[in-house]
Structure 1
């Protein structure tokens, strides 16, 4: 499931009116890099992209998705939601009930270690992470025993930054805690990572797994840094 119904306000402030998932790096749109990252990690059955009606009307985002993924399912929203978790929930509701679900942001690319998704056989959910100390990201909180105790937004409480690909053992493993999160969310928008806190409070087991590589291009600054540091070559190598 790929939530793509945001406004991309930071890029718009920089004069880019194209919806963020359609911005290109390395000759491909952002959403393609994110989707291919998931496809390299594990076999993917149903692909669900959640988009805005205005982006269909003004930018043909549906055609862009189907150009790369002809069998994709598109869930079209009339208006923006209260955050990525709410957008994701619309897509997860369309997922197969008996299979694991990956909710993946459209503005990053990654390479996972072999066997990453196998952890869902013994855990209810997994947080994919990369090493950082940058307060721009969200982070995993660990308890004294090293188990995942929760998540926190924009505060460096560990070295495990949350990458933006969220694994759940089933749609229900996301949807049940999501409903509680809507009632208890301490922020002014619904973050997917916050659903994990409610899952843990319900007795669910969450694991954190480090990625082999992670590249983020979710802001104009990150995109410029990626290009300026020559990391486009890494993306192109992954696509080969």
Structure 2
């Protein structure tokens, strides 16, 4: 099995946090979004995941090293491809065409999920969906009584279905999928100005591929600051009893930790109340502070503060006035 992960977008709605790293590498409960996706599939799939192929922009060597380390966590080969122009999701997959062979999973690294990803690998294909209230913003599917997909529609202003495609797909025949993606690109077949994966799926369906609908329990958005905080809260709840969320090397003095919280290695907590629903990265210093419902990345320093619903980037410093914050990497504030 191969996993193809398109993640070339920068995530403009999450700036300033995505000025230095792509959105899929933002930490949620202590792990990058894309790492959680890879680990969830590895835990669910009964066979071997032999390769993880990432499609990225020009993010630099440090990001590429992080991605190689994520693939290494599941003993998989890491392949890295580049999408230079934002020509649509099918084009992003096309950039990784050299890895599209045999059974493949395509997973867009924009969101997290609560789902059972065990599946029957003998199916022609599976499309994971979630019922939504406002389907006009999504690609959707129509199905028959046996959950076989009868139609794919991309962001229709007229109601077609409320079963939204969440961005996870399984193809038993990756070679056939690749040939249909190449057909789309070679013939300039666009929908709404971009090369859409729903167009590829419709071609495959019309040529005899049988796609079955698979459902997820929860679709956890990471599109903006408030969504990240809500997703961080939910993942902390889900992982509280299955992951070691507080590192043994955390130093806690005259402080209270209200679970669930994630606190990374070598972080120092003094005279503080932390939690609930707080994630603090590694090598941070938190003194004389009250923090709840917030995400703080690595090497940050927070003193004399009361924070809620806040995000602070790597190597940021804050001391002073209580308020909701949205601070990027390498930012300092002293009130």
TM-score (ref. length: structure 2): 0.60
Number of paired residues?
Answer: 229
Alignment of 1:55-94 (within 5 A): 55-57=59-61, 60-70=62-72, 71-77=76-82, 79-94=84-99
Does residue 125 of structure 1 match 2:128?
Answer: no
* Matched residue SS, 1:165: strand
Give the counterpart of 1:176 among 171, 174, 179.
179
* Matched residue SS, 1:86: helix
Alignment of 1:41-52 (within 5 A): 41-42=44-45, 43=47, 44-52=49-57
Does residue 23 of structure 1 match 2:30?
Answer: no
Match of 2:249 in 1: none
Going from structure 1 to structure 2, the CA distance change for 1:143 and 1:203 (only over 3 Å counts) comes to: same
Partner Cα separation in structure 1 for residue 81 and residue 70 of structure 2: 18
Unaligned runs of 5+ in 2: 244-335
Higher relative contact order (CA 8 A, sep 6+): 1
Is the contact between residue 125 and residue 173 of structure 1 (CA under 8 Å) also seen in structure 2? no
Is the contact between residue 100 and residue 170 of structure 1 (CA under 8 Å) also seen in structure 2? yes
* Matched residue SS, 1:39: helix
Give the RMSD, CA atoms, in angstroms.
2.7
Alignment of 1:178-217 (within 5 A): 178-182=181-185, 183=187, 184-217=189-222
Structure number with higher strand proportion: 2
Match of 2:138 in 1: 137
Unaligned runs of 5+ in 1: none
TM-score (ref. length: structure 1): 0.81
Structure 1: 4+ residue segments shifted above 4 A = 143-146
Is the contact between residue 51 and residue 74 of structure 1 (CA under 8 Å) also seen in structure 2? no
Is the contact between residue 178 and residue 198 of structure 1 (CA under 8 Å) also seen in structure 2? no
Is the contact between residue 50 and residue 76 of structure 1 (CA under 8 Å) also seen in structure 2? yes
Match of 1:232 in 2: 235
Structure number with higher helix proportion: 1
Which structure has the larger Rg? 2
Partner Cα separation in structure 2 for residue 239 and residue 218 of structure 1: 26
Is the contact between residue 12 and residue 18 of structure 2 (CA under 8 Å) also seen in structure 1? no
Is the contact between residue 11 and residue 20 of structure 1 (CA under 8 Å) also seen in structure 2? yes
Partner Cα separation in structure 1 for residue 84 and residue 242 of structure 2: 33
Partner Cα separation in structure 2 for residue 106 and residue 153 of structure 1: 19
Going from structure 1 to structure 2, the CA distance change for 1:39 and 1:234 (only over 3 Å counts) comes to: farther
Shift of 1:69: 2.4
Partner Cα separation in structure 1 for residue 201 and residue 38 of structure 2: 22
Partner Cα separation in structure 2 for residue 19 and residue 114 of structure 1: 25
Going from structure 1 to structure 2, the CA distance change for 1:159 and 1:239 (only over 3 Å counts) comes to: farther
Going from structure 1 to structure 2, the CA distance change for 1:185 and 1:124 (only over 3 Å counts) comes to: farther
Partner Cα separation in structure 2 for residue 133 and residue 167 of structure 1: 25
